[in-house]
Amino acid sequence: MEIIKHPSEMQKFAISAKRKGKRIGLVPTMGFFHEGHLSLMRIAREHADLVVVSNFVNPTQFAPGEDFAAYPRDFERDCRMAEDVRVDVMFAPDKNDMYPEGSRTYVEVEEWGKILCGVTRPTHFRGVATIVLKLFNIVQPDVAVFGWKDAQQFLLLRRMVKDLNLPIEMIGGEIMREESGLAMSSRNTYLTLDEKAEAVILSRTLSQAKRMIIEDGITDAVTLKQFIRGEIEKTKHGRIDYVEIVSMETLEGMKVVKKGDTLIALAAWFGKTRLIDNIRF
Amino acid sequence: MEIIKHPSEMQKFAISAKRKGKRIGLVPTMGFFHEGHLSLMRIAREHADLVVVSNFVNPTQFAPGEDFAAYPRDFERDCRMAEDVRVDVMFAPDKNDMYPEGSRTYVEVEEWGKILCGVTRPTHFRGVATIVLKLFNIVQPDVAVFGWKDAQQFLLLRRMVKDLNLPIEMIGGEIMREESGLAMSSRNTYLTLDEKAEAVILSRTLSQAKRMIIEDGITDAVTLKQFIRGEIEKTKHGRIDYVEIVSMETLEGMKVVKKGDTLIALAAWFGKTRLIDNIRF
């Protein structure tokens, strides 16, 4: 596996590979890999000749007071894990090379960045869209793979790709879960054992809500959201940020769930750690 | 010359040309060509194997009440003129194909879009940056040519290209002028004969200001701006929007002009027509 640090070197490498007819797959990450990341790399491996994983904790998607400095990092371990799933290039730029002095260009997917996670993190998706667009321009992928764990991120980036006419196929990889059902996340390392045990409620209630729809025919969004909120509120450490049921097409709230287009998404704090999870059908 | 109407067809054409190793040059325009446009096409011709001219009056860079509907158009004539300077492809999309329902992604070069022309046209440069980024993604140019007439636009887009890591060489083509000195513009057709005669003051005072700097050693920005304003204020139909002296590197106002980095830019209405002009050194 090749490790490339500089954006212009990465871009030269990518353009040269494309000239040779290679199909490039990109998995953008912030590192500290778990099985979720690896599953995305495996998907990219199936869809591309050359798999590039970017490993960059992007400062512009963290607000002051968020966990940019504390975000877990282990580059050596990441490299070993990526190599094991046959990644070709690890692109790990420096933040001063990604945002040189004078940078002032940002991309916004309007309104979609201000709802759901955007309510408590109003500048987050602007940072995400901008860094991903930069990575796309540097790595020149034909296909990009993102996790459905960050459902709003995936839908917003897919919208951006369409709106900006980028010739990139967007693939979403399924959420990887621990045995307990807890969605895998680099941030799970922040949880105490007690919090981690309790946080299982998120995936459990989402599954229950899905069964309520399919088995009991309950399709009223208010009823479903109240059920989910009630379950999380019973925990000792859990504090709800949001529980929403929206259309994946428009991101607008749904009154009645509709098969094929429904996203039930939530965010909750357990102690100081903010976790997200979702289910779709 | 090939005429392509649909963005996806244009993109397919461009990607296929690049695979064959062709270097693509793009000249983005809003049509109604004059010698200024043609000069940019000739520059592109020198720098590329395949010259694409986009011809699209972009709605998102006009505010309500501006001249989107009135903007002059003559597609047949444009095609003949482009063909004469050996353009390979005229890309003339429909606005519903460029902005399909649900589009909501915009690019902003922050602060730079709110000064100079951005004061009276606060949403203009957001529209310009977005459409140009879309055109770049569709046409996949190696080199793009813009006119220095729209100096702020050129500097802002060059900043965007750098900030977003686009692998595109940006070339600025010199301002083309009528014999009187008036900068060529599709909007000059709006002027009455009286207004047009008076509007010559813009280029004349800019040239005089440059001479004052070079020959008389006057480098104080306030003095130079006052001179320019005074000359325009003497006219019957002219009304100043702004006269500014800024660094081309930072777009910040300069107190003292500095060789190699100075832009003197102005905008003024003559009757109902807003004209811009500038000089650099």
Neighbouring C-alpha atoms within 13 Å toward the C-beta of B82: 28
State the pLDDT confidence band at A189, using cuts at 50, 70 and 90: very high
Binary contact (A106, B107; C-beta < 8 A): yes
Q: What phi and psi, each to the nearest 5 degrees, are found at residue B194? A: -60, -45
What are A91's strand-pairing partners? A4, A54
DSSP A183: B
Task: Name the residue facing B104 among A11, A103, A109 (closest C-beta).
Answer: A109
Residue of A nearest to B131 (CA): A164
Reduced to 3 DSSP states, what percent helix, strand and coil does chain A have, rounded to the nearest 5? 45, 25, 35
| Architecture of domain B186-275 in this structure | 2-Layer Sandwich (3.30)
pTM: 0.98
| A69: three-class secondary structure by DSSP | coil
| CA nearest to B95, candidates B140, B137, B62 | B62
ipTM of the complex model: 0.97
Instruction: Tell me, yes or no, if B37 is annotated catalytic.
Output: yes
Please report the pLDDT score of residue B29 as a whole number.
98
Please report the pLDDT score of residue B273 as a whole number.
96
| CA nearest to B112, candidates B261, B250, B255 | B250
Domain boundaries, chain B: 2-173, 186-275
Q: Which two tokens stand for residue B194?
A: 């009286």
Q: What is the mean pLDDT of residues A126-131?
A: 98
Binary contact (B108, A103; C-beta < 8 A): no
- A186-275: same fold as A2-173? no
Q: What is the average pLDDT value for chain A, to the nearest integer?
A: 97
Q: What is the mean pLDDT of residues A119-145?
A: 98
Q: What is the mean pLDDT of residues B202-226?
A: 97
CA distance B169 to B161: 9
Q: Is B280 left (phi over 0), alpha (psi -120 to 50) or beta?
A: beta
Q: Which two tokens stand for residue B74?
A: 């003559």
Please report the pLDDT score of residue B197 as a whole number.
97
Question: Which of A15, A165, A169, A248 to probe the B interface (max B CBs under 10 A)?
Answer: A165
Q: Which two tokens stand for residue B161?
A: 């290209």
State the pLDDT confidence band at B81, using cuts at 50, 70 and 90: very high
Q: Give the CATH fold of the A2-173 domain.
A: Rossmann fold (3.40.50)
Binary contact (B160, A107; C-beta < 8 A): no
Q: What is the pLDDT of residues A244-276, one digit of tens each?
A: 999 999 999 999 999 999 999 999 999 999 999
CA distance B50 to B253: 39
Burial class from Cβ neighbours inside 10 Å (0-12, 13-18, 19+) for residue A269 reads middle
